[in-house]
Structure 1
Amino acid sequence: MKLPSFRLPSSALPAAVLAGVLMTGTAVATAAPAHASTTNTAYAAAGISSQYHLYDAGVDRSKAVGVVFYFDGDGQYYAQRPTASMLKTMAARAAAKNMILVVPVAPANRSWTANSEVVGDWFRALAAKIVAEQRIDTTRIHLAGYSGGAEFISTEVLSDRAGWIRGGGATIIGGGGVYYGGLETAPDAALRATDPTWYVGSQDGYGATQPANWSALEAAGKGAAAYQKAGFAKADRVVLPGLHHTNYNLPGLVGDDVDRLYPTTGTTVSPTAGASEVNGFELKGAIGSRWQTLGGSSWATPVSAEHASGYGSVYQRFVGTDGREKAVYWSRATGTRVVDYGGAIGRKFEAAGYATSYGPPSSDEARTADGGAYQMFDAAGKRTKLMWSSATGARAVKEYGAIGKRWAALGHERGLGYPTSDEYSTPGGMAQKFTGGRIEWTAATGAVRVIKN
């Protein structure tokens, strides 16, 4: 991640390129394009040559087609790996709302923020090409970016000559500042009506990434404020508890925004027997039944559709009447369980990578006799217990490992106490600290030693 460069004078786009972008409605093309999923397609404009990837599997061309443009962070980790599961997951989330995913690759220096004005001209030309060739409905344009890509959206794509966007929104993750006053080009009414949201981790401040004197948390605040001042009434910053610069769920954040902003579009799905729809999202099956049991809308309102997660689970996100974000998970092995992301245990689960790390929850959160709390998670038989107390915070005990097994045999928190650390490496193996002592495991021998305070 680099700070945005000082801007160079704008270079006008060729008239033929600008003519390719319609100011309202859907781009004109002589015939609907064939399915066009492709990677590493070369494209040159504005004196720059780079590539882009396009994903359209599952898109119904007989209906209005939208687009998600995703700008990866400086360094282009995912953009350089077009077959990565992250991009495939994001593409599937987009396709569920009948939107293609386009991933432009930053130029040779792998930075969106170096010489961003000229790079912006290259992207605007590419966007015109995509809109025209793919017959994109320009009222369904979604911008998404992480770190340097987030900065590129806030300082260039939405800021300068963005009148080609007639509706949609933006998911701006881990950055997205505005540093030179207001927007470069005055936004029209259609652009101001779009919904840009800045998502940033509470720990993504100074020193969380390079350069050390740049704070994504501060940048996101500056960006949201600048766009609000420019008349974007829906612009907002969302601070995600416990997240650092490198543990965002990128396809989850983008996919959930796409679900939220485009609830009535996409391919037709036959209704599920007994399903209901609230806030534009279908509630069905075991998750819908659990939602009803918990109180339905008096408990929480859905903010996403059901989506697949780790270890054969599915989940659906909600916002409770208490204002806290929650999720209901289901898997054949664990049943239907609730994770409260507004609590310390839920934030710990989220920061670790959701069900892809600990597995889906195999219990709801429960209280201990002395005022603490715990929740069990199961990753294909590997059980992890997240423990919390007001004195220790939330920590993970791997009950499938030698340390976790010994702690459980000692009586859980009633024996050696609550964990005060997660497991950590030692010169000879692993160890974990508890309020009543420490458990050490030696790799060479498999021996487990308990050292009480």
Structure 2
Amino acid sequence: MARRHLTTITALAATGLALTTAFATTAGARPIGPFDVGGAIEVKYDQAGGFNTFGNPITPELDASGGRFQAFERNNSIYWSLGTSAHQIGGAIRDKWGSVGWENSPLGFPITDEAISKNNGRNNRFNGGDIYWSSTTGAHIIWGSIRDTWLAAGAENGRYGYPTGDEYDHEGGKAQDFQGGRITWQP
């Protein structure tokens, strides 16, 4: 009889330990602190690696001109709008986007998560253009007709490579410099 109780107790203890470990792992992966993550932002947070990728939220979910966003410890944010769903943006690309006015800029909301580009570069697409980053060129906005020409030429994988600066005024039009040359546009 004592042996049967010992086996039952051992089995229950093992089950309890397994459940405790499973819940501790799940709970450990959740953000801690004063701000919760919910809705579409939570779905993206979980899909993109959760706490291990983003760390804890440093803001509550906030309004963003027709959408919502939440900022996280590791220089990442997740932005959501009705027209774009939720997308991650971080690092130098996020900083560049912020320097031109976030979602209120001509770029609008991100329409992709940050993606890996040639030579371990990064990019995000937006409603109104793209931001590309590489360790040798930094983060630069590409939009409009210059972007169209660059994409048609193979983007960062084509003859132009990454942008080395932003678009600027040039002979009554616009120009942008790239690793492999310059693209100009005239009205």
Tell whether the structures are fold-level matches, with TM greater than 0.5: yes
The residue aligned with 2:142 is 397
CA distance in 2, matches of 1:371, 1:298: 20
One-letter code aligned to 2:119: D
- Cα separation, 2, equivalents of 1:373 and 1:402: 21
The residue number in structure 1 matching 2:6 is none
- Say whether 1:285 aligns with 2:39: yes
Structure 1 residues 271-310: aligned runs within 5 Å: 278-299=32-53, 300-310=55-65
Distance 1:418-1:294 versus aligned 2 partners, 3 A rule: closer
Shift of 1:332: 2.0
Percent identity reads 38
Correspondent of 2:69 among 290, 302, 315 = 315
Residue in structure 2 matched with residue 374 of structure 1 by the alignment: 123
Q: Compared with structure 1, are the counterparts of its residues 314 and 418 closer, same or farther at alpha carbon in structure 2 (3 Å cutoff)?
A: same
Please identify runs of 4+ aligned residues in structure 1 that moved more than 6 A.
none
1:408 aligns with 2:151: yes
Q: Distance in 2 between matches of 1:372 and 1:282?
A: 31
Query: Aligned equivalents of 1:344 and 1:296: distance in 2?
Result: 20
Q: CA deviation at 1:438?
A: 1.0
1:437 and 2:187 matched: no
Deviations 1:147-194 (CA, angstroms, capped at 9, x unpaired): xxxxxxxxxxxxxxxxxxxxxxxxxxxxxxxxxxxxxxxxxxxxxxxx
Query: 1:147 aligns to what?
Result: none
Q: Partner amino acid for 1:419? A: P
Q: Residue 298 of structure 1: CA displacement?
A: 4.1
Deviation at 1:371, TM superposition (A): 2.4
Q: Which is richer in helix?
A: 2
The alpha-carbon distance between structure 1 residues 294 and 390, as it changes in their structure 2 partners (threshold 3 A), is closer
Q: C-alpha separation between the residues in 2 aligned to 1:344 and 1:277?
A: 24
- Which amino acid in structure 1 is aligned with residue 122 of structure 2? A
1:433/1:307 CA distance change after superposition, 3 Å: same
Q: 1:336 aligns with which of 83, 86, 90?
A: 86
Q: Equivalents in 2 of 1:430, 1:363: separation in Å?
A: 26
1:387 corresponds to which letter in structure 2?
Answer: Y
State how 1:79-228 maps to structure 2 within 5 Å.
none
Give the whole-Å Cα distance in 2 for the aligned partners of 1:442 and 1:298. Answer: 47
Q: Which amino acid is 1:390 matched to? A: S
Distance between the aligned counterparts of 1:297 and 1:291, measured in 2? 8
1:373 CA drift (Å): 1.6
Q: Which residue of 1 aligns with 2:76?
A: 326
Q: 1:418 to 1:281 in 2, by over 3 A?
A: same
1:240-279, aligned counterparts within 5 Å?
Answer: 278-279=32-33
Residues 295/397 of structure 1: CA separation in 2 closer, same or farther (3 Å cut): closer
Report SS of the residue matched to 2:146: helix
1:24-76 Cα distance to aligned partner (Å, 9 max, x none) = xxxxxxxxxxxxxxxxxxxxxxxxxxxxxxxxxxxxxxxxxxxxxxxxxxxxx
How many angstroms does 1:295 deviate by?
4.2
Please give the alpha-carbon distance, in whole angstroms, between the structure 2 residues aligned to 1:365 and 1:292.
15
CA displacement at 1:351 relative to structure 2: 1.6
1:199 corresponds to which residue? none
Specify which of 161, 164, 168 is matched with residue 420 of structure 1.
Answer: 164
Partner-residue secondary structure (3-state), 2:119: coil
Question: Which residue does 2:8 correspond to in 1?
Answer: none
CA distance in 1: counterparts of 2:117 and 2:130, whole angstroms: 13
Q: Distance in 1 between matches of 2:170 and 2:124?
A: 27
Tell me how far apart the structure 1 counterparts of residues 31 and 137 of structure 2 sit (CA, whole Å).
41
Counterpart position of 2:133? 388
Secondary structure of the corresponding residue to residue 370 of structure 1: helix
**Secondary structure of 1:403's aligned partner:** helix
Q: What is the SS of the residue equivalent to 1:281?
A: coil
- The two structures have a TM-score, normalised by structure 2, of 0.75
Q: Distance in 1 between matches of 2:87 and 2:186?
A: 35
- In structure 2, the CA distance between the partners of 1:402 and 1:282, relative to structure 1 (3 Å rule), is same
How far apart are the structure 2 equivalents of 1:403 and 1:298? 37
Residue type matched to 1:389 in 2? Answer: S
Q: Give the count of matched residue pairs.
A: 155
Whether the 8 Å CA contact 2:78–2:88 is kept in 1: the answer is: yes
* Structure 2 residue matching 1:438: 3-state secondary structure: strand
In 1, the alpha carbon distance for the partners of 2:177 and 2:31 equals: 47
Q: Residue type of the partner of 2:83? A: A
TM-score normalized with structure 1 length? 0.32
